[in-house]
């Protein structure tokens, strides 16, 4: 009993940091409708800045708390600056572009942090006067835990007062309800948004600074935290601060219970192995029962689509056929033109093109946004890895395991995902990718954990760079042609019907949800094929193939090429993967360059490169 | 004549608001029944209850003798009920012909086919149907760029594709110019009379109602206060008092 109480206290304490960051994210989303991927980065910056500032001021009371508060304000300013320079230009762009812009910031912050503070983890300073432990009900509880337990409700109270008792807060709440009306009432919405971003970012920074006495500042804390924060925000209900607190409590308690009872097993699986998975399972369960979260409001789905309708799809004309033929000839002749290094770069590019095309099928044709498409790529790779490691299968058979495992994964995850829409759907796809990642990361017996599975090599006949290039290339080209055909098949049309007007589709006897589910599986299968090939290309499988950043890579590829162009993934995928390869070989700071490129692309071409090309063509057309 | 639709005691409340209270409706094959009433009378709610988009708290809806309460709209469609919307809903990224082809693909249960081209399926049938709604010339236009009157015709064609026995039309002429209204309603009544399709429609435009409806049912605050031939309804004192006051004075 005592033990349980102690665990509960630890859980409540660790919920506080999570809540601070999540409250910032949920406030920003509630008002601006932007899902800020960089929120984990702001949290990381808060931690690093606080370490440096406290170090500078000395560790006294004033030094510590002064450092924490200054770090909080500095992170708030950074957030506001980002809002003014980047986000302000793209509020009208599709939400995916906003997400990408914030992910660009993630990459930049990672490198800047590395540049300033170096790769070592920085141990957090103790909070003066709050060190040691105290006795409560005969239990030894760290004093700082008690502080944290009290701190979160205090912040909750302050935020409540801010939003309910100040003019600014009331305007913010009004903007959350109806942005247009607030503008019509003469409120300068621009600065309202900037203010919200300042507040949200400052809360993230405070979260990073306040957790220091219990932890450290390290370079992985951004993406480690962001997934948990997304879960908290979604479980609590997007936009609900109190919901975020309840969800942070729920998630933290479950995690603490699983970690501290690590030795318990459920059906052969140790409790600690379920720690990461548990959080995403909670999210999936909550979303099934309450698709808008614990305290969120139901989003009213409207059939009235904003903006221009999706363009028509036309079968390949003569020009496209000739271009495609030429491309094939170039691909066939490539081994004679380039060396083996570039040939393996080209192999990788082809694999990513197939991966991107499978996502384009889901997003462009099906209208289903996925933030976690790497799940199926990675499941494909692990399908191969597990088949080789546990059953010693040959490549010919193991490559079939890739689409199989990915397809099964998509079947299970998709069943949940197609029940949601909009931002909740996107978050759920991300959560499922993280579930897959957690399993790969924590179920070491099965997957090799962080080290992954190595020694996945093609048989002799396919082992030379050239032969593997031809093999992978042939499979990818066939896959691409299949995906292209699907868009024109009755099934592809059915998907587009459900995307264009779910209302009309339903009134024509179409079960939109069921067809979307089927599309999910198909997209998963093709992503799985790409993942399987990737495993053989690299000779190994690691949790990296399931990571958030790979999911984002796929999104960038699709958006580069244009979500609604069937040929888009070919350009986007090839361009992005070659560019990334080149950058990595050129500089250690490739992340920030990539991040800056993403941000620039989004700001300069908010409709995507294909959209920009389209409007350029339109302009040239009218001037002629 | 056979009874196509039989609605009994239909009721629906939203919170404390009783939007529809015990409405009965009957509809024979080939008959056009207009459902009218002032704003907030419960027309749209009635419609959505019959169509399956809302579930009634009470009452029954029988289509060709079969109870359809609880079925989703897509199942009701499969039984032979076509539907057009107040704000026309079509597939904007497809051509007019492809829109109609979708209806045929669904009717023939070809939606999940992965092989073959959707653009080649039921092409002739789709063109014939577009011909009947006088849209043949616009078959290759994207639905998203059609004039609104043409979108309405396209919707009608899609609703007719599976040979429905009942057509539900929610304000078929809303948002249209007077000239277009008349021609759409004339076209609709020609088609449905030829094919013996029953039509239930709501409408604000009294011209359209009185020149095309065989019968008119009048709703007021969720209750049916009159049901009969146009001239009977026009003379009904309750109707005049509650709704047609100004209209009655005009005529």
Residue B120 contacts A where some CB pair is shorter than 8 Å: no
Residue B87 contacts A where some CB pair is shorter than 8 Å: yes
Percent of chain A with pLDDT over 70: 94
pLDDT tens-digit readout, B41-79: 888 899 889 988 899 999 999 999 899 999 999 999 999
C-alpha pair distances (Å), B83 with each of A388, B88, B183, B206: 55, 10, 19, 21
Q: Which residue of A has its CA nearest to B155?
A: A504
What is A359-401 written as a DSSP string? HHIIIIIT----S-THHHHHHHHHHHHHHHHHH---HHHHHHH
Residue contact B112–A309, C-beta within 8 A: no
Of A488, A497, A515, the CB nearest to B91: A497
A36, pLDDT greater than 60: yes
| Closest CA relative to residue A242, chosen from A173, A149, A155, A156 | A156
Q: Which helix (H) or strand (E) holds B20?
A: strand B17-28
Residue contact A501–B92, C-beta within 8 A: yes
d(CA A328, CA A331): 5
Residue A513 contacts B where some CB pair is shorter than 8 Å: no
Q: What interhelical angle do A167-177 and A143-165 show, nearest 10?
A: 80
Residue contact A508–B114, C-beta within 8 A: no
Residues of A with Cβ-Cβ distance to B119 under 8 angstroms: 315, 488
Q: Which residue of A has its CA nearest to B51?
A: A507
d(CA A112, CA A54): 20
Q: Per DSSP, what are the bridge partners of residue B13?
A: B18
Mean pLDDT over the full length of chain A: 88
Residue contact A312–B95, C-beta within 8 A: yes
Of A310, A503, A505, the CB nearest to B93: A310
Which of A142-146, A408-412, A571-575 has the largest mean confidence? A408-412
Say if residues A397 and A431 touch (Cβ distance below 8 Å). Answer: no
End-to-end CA distance of chain A: 82
- CA B145 to chain A, closest CA, distance in angstroms equals 9
Of A303, A312, A518, the CB nearest to B142: A312
Residue contact A489–B90, C-beta within 8 A: no
Say if residues A77 and A198 touch (Cβ distance below 8 Å). Answer: yes
> Hey, CA dihedral for A570, A572, A576, A579, is it positive or negative?
positive
pLDDT tens-digit readout, B152-197: 999 999 999 999 999 999 888 888 888 888 888 999 999 999 999 9
Residue contact A508–B121, C-beta within 8 A: no
Residues of B with Cβ-Cβ distance to A515 under 8 angstroms: 111-112
Of B92, B117, B119, the CB nearest to A310: B92
Structural class in CATH, domain A2-126+140-257+264-289: mainly alpha
Residue contact A309–B74, C-beta within 8 A: no
Residue A481 contacts B where some CB pair is shorter than 8 Å: no
pLDDT tens-digit readout, A412-444: 999 988 888 877 888 889 888 988 988 898 888
Residues of A with Cβ-Cβ distance to B126 under 8 angstroms: none
pLDDT tens-digit readout, A457-498: 999 898 899 999 999 999 999 999 999 999 999 999 999 999
pLDDT tens-digit readout, B140-156: 999 988 888 899 999 99
> Hey, CA dihedral for A508, A509, A512, A515, is it positive or negative?
negative
Residue B146 contacts A where some CB pair is shorter than 8 Å: no
The predicted pLDDT at position B248 comes to 43
The predicted pLDDT at position A268 comes to 66
Percent of chain A with pLDDT over 90: 47
| Closest CA relative to residue A259, chosen from A277, A271, A243, A246 | A271
pLDDT tens-digit readout, A236-281: 988 889 999 999 999 998 888 887 777 777 766 776 677 777 887 8
Residue contact B111–A501, C-beta within 8 A: no
The domain limits of chain A are 2-126+140-257+264-289, 345-561
Query: pLDDT confidence of A1, banded at 50, 70, 90?
Result: low
- Across the range B209-235, mean pLDDT stands at 89
- CA B123 to chain A, closest CA, distance in angstroms equals 13
The predicted pLDDT at position B87 comes to 84
Query: pLDDT confidence of A611, banded at 50, 70, 90?
Result: low
The tokens for B52 are 């399956």
Residue contact B112–A310, C-beta within 8 A: no
pLDDT tens-digit readout, B21-32: 999 999 999 899
pLDDT tens-digit readout, B104-118: 999 999 898 898 898
The tokens for B110 are 């070809």
The predicted pLDDT at position A200 comes to 96
- CA A361 to chain B, closest CA, distance in angstroms equals 13
Residue contact B106–A509, C-beta within 8 A: yes
B91, pLDDT greater than 50: yes
**Geometric angle at alpha carbon A531, from A526 and A536, rounded to 5°:** 130
- Across the range A392-416, mean pLDDT stands at 93
Residue A314 contacts B where some CB pair is shorter than 8 Å: no
Q: Which residue of B has its CA nearest to A519?
A: B112
pLDDT tens-digit readout, A101-118: 898 999 999 999 999 999
Of the candidate ranges A175-184, A374-383, A492-501, B44-53, the one whose mean pLDDT is the lowest: A175-184
A301, pLDDT greater than 70: no
pLDDT tens-digit readout, A47-82: 999 999 999 988 788 899 999 999 999 999 999 999
Query: pLDDT confidence of B249, banded at 50, 70, 90?
Result: very low
The predicted pLDDT at position A295 comes to 85
- CA A315 to chain B, closest CA, distance in angstroms equals 10
Using DSSP, state whether A247 is helix, strand or coil: helix
Using DSSP, state whether B225 is helix, strand or coil: strand
The tokens for A19 are 């809540």
pLDDT tens-digit readout, A530-541: 999 999 999 999
Residue A504 contacts B where some CB pair is shorter than 8 Å: yes
Q: Which residue of B has its CA nearest to A486?
A: B114
Q: Which residue of A has its CA nearest to B159?
A: A508
CB pairs under 8 A between A and B: 109
- CA B38 to chain A, closest CA, distance in angstroms equals 25
Residue A307 contacts B where some CB pair is shorter than 8 Å: no
A607, pLDDT greater than 90: no
The predicted pLDDT at position A304 comes to 43
d(CA B122, CA B97): 10
Residues of A with Cβ-Cβ distance to B112 under 8 angstroms: 490-491, 494, 515, 518
Residue contact A501–B116, C-beta within 8 A: no
- Across the range A560-583, mean pLDDT stands at 87
Residues of A with Cβ-Cβ distance to B85 under 8 angstroms: 503-504, 507
- Across the range A18-46, mean pLDDT stands at 92
The predicted pLDDT at position A623 comes to 45
A302, pLDDT greater than 80: no
Q: Which of A317, A361, A483, A497 to mutate to test the interface with B (most CBs of B within 10 A)?
A: A497
**Where does residue B57 rank: exposed (0-12), middle (13-18), buried (19+ CB within 10 A)?**
middle
Of A309, A490, A505, the CB nearest to B116: A490
């Amino acid at each position: 009993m005592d033990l349980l109480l102690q665990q509960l206290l630890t859980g409540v304490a660790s919920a506080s940091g999570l809540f601070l960051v999540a409250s910032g994210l949920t406030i920003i989303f509630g008002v601006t409708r932007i899902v800020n991927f960089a929120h984990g980065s702001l949290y990381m910056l808060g931690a690093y800045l606080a370490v440096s500032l406290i170090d500078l001021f000395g560790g006294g009371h004033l030094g510590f708390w002064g450092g924490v508060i200054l770090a909080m304000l500095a992170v708030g300013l950074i957030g506001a600056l980002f809002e003014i320079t980047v986000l302000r230009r793209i509020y009208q762009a599709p939400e995916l572009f906003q997400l990408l812009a914030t992910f660009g910031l993630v990459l930049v912050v990672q490198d800047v942090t590395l540049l300033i503070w170096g790769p070592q983890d920085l141990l957090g300073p103790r909070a003066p006067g709050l060190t040691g432990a105290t006795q409560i009900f005969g239990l030894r509880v760290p004093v700082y835990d008690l502080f944290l337990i009290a701190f979160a409700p205090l912040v909750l109270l302050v935020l409540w007062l801010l939003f309910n008792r100040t003019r600014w807060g009331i305007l913010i709440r009004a903007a959350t309800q109806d942005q247009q009306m607030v503008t019509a009432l003469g409120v300068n919405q621009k600065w309202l948004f900037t203010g919200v971003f300042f507040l949200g970012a400052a809360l993230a920074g405070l979260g990073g600074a306040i957790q220091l006495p219990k932890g450290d500042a390290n370079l992985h804390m951004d993406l480690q935290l962001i997934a948990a924060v997304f879960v908290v925000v979604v479980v609590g209900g997007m936009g609900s601060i109190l919901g975020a607190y309840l969800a942070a409590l729920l998630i933290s308690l479950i995690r603490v219970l699983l970690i501290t009872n690590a030795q318990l097993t459920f059906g052969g699986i140790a409790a600690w192995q379920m720690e990461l998975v548990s959080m995403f399972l909670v999210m999936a369960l909550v979303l099934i029962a309450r698709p808008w979260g614990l305290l969120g409001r139901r989003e009213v789905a409207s059939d009235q689509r904003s903006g221009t309708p999706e363009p028509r799809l036309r079968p390949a004309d003569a020009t496209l056929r000739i271009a495609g033929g030429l491309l094939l000839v170039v691909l066939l002749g490539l081994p004679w033109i380039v060396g083996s290094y570039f040939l393996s770069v080209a192999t990788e590019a082809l694999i990513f093109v197939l991966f991107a095309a499978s996502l384009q099928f889901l997003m462009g044709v099906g209208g289903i946004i996925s933030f976690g498409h790497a799940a199926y790529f990675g499941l494909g790779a692990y399908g191969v890895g597990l088949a080789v490691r546990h059953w010693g299968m040959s490549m010919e058979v193991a490559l079939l395991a890739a689409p199989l495992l990915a397809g099964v994964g998509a079947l299970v995850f998709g069943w949940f995902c197609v029940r949601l829409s909009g931002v909740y759907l996107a978050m759920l796809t991300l959560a499922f990718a993280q579930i897959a990642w957690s399993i790969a990361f924590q179920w070491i017996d099965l997957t090799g954990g962080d080290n992954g599975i190595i020694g996945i090599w093609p048989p002799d006949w396919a082992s030379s760079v050239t032969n593997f290039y031809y093999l992978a290339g042939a499979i990818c080209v066939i896959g691409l042609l299949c995906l292209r055909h699907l868009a024109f098949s009755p099934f592809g049309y059915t998907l587009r019907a459900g995307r264009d007007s779910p209302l009309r589709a339903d009134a024509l006897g179409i079960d939109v949800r069921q067809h979307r589910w089927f599309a999910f599986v198909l997209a998963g299968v093709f992503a799985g094929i790409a993942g399987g090939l990737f495993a053989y290309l690299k000779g190994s499988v690691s949790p990296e193939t399931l990571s958030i950043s790979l999911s984002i890579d796929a999104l960038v590829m699709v958006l580069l090429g244009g979500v609604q162009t069937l040929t888009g993934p070919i350009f986007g995928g090839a361009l992005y993967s070659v560019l990334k390869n080149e950058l990595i070989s050129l500089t250690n700071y490739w992340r920030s360059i990539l991040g800056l490129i993403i941000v620039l692309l989004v700001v300069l071409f908010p409709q995507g490169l294909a959209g920009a090309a389209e409007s350029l063509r339109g302009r040239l057309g009218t001037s002629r | 004549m056979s009874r196509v639709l039989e609605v009994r005691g239909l009721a629906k409340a939203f919170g404390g608001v009783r939007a529809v209270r015990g409405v009965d409706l009957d509809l024979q094959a080939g008959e056009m029944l207009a459902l009218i009433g002032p704003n907030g009378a419960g027309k749209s709610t009635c419609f959505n209850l019959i169509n399956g988009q809302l579930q009634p708290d009470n009452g029954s809806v029988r289509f060709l003798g079969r109870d359809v309460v609880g079925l989703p709209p897509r199942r009701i469609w499969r039984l032979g009920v076509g539907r057009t919307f107040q704000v026309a809903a079509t597939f904007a990224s497809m051509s007019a012909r492809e829109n109609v082809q979708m209806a045929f693909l669904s009717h023939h249960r070809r939606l999940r086919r992965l092989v073959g081209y959707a653009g080649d399926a039921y092409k002739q049938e789709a063109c014939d149907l577009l011909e009947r709604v006088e849209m043949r010339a616009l078959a290759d236009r994207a639905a998203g760029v059609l004039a609104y009157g043409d979108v309405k015709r396209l919707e009608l064609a899609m609703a007719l594709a599976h040979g429905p026995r009942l057509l539900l039309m929610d304000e078929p002429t809303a948002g249209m110019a007077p000239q277009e209204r008349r021609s759409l309603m004339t076209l609709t009544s020609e088609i449905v009379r030829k094919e013996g399709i029953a039509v239930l429609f709501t409408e604000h435009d009294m011209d359209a109602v009185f020149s095309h409806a065989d019968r008119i049912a009048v709703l007021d605050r969720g209750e049916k206060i009159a049901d009969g031939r146009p001239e009977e309804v026009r003379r009904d004192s309750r109707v005049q008092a509650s709704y047609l006051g100004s209209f009655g004075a005009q005529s």
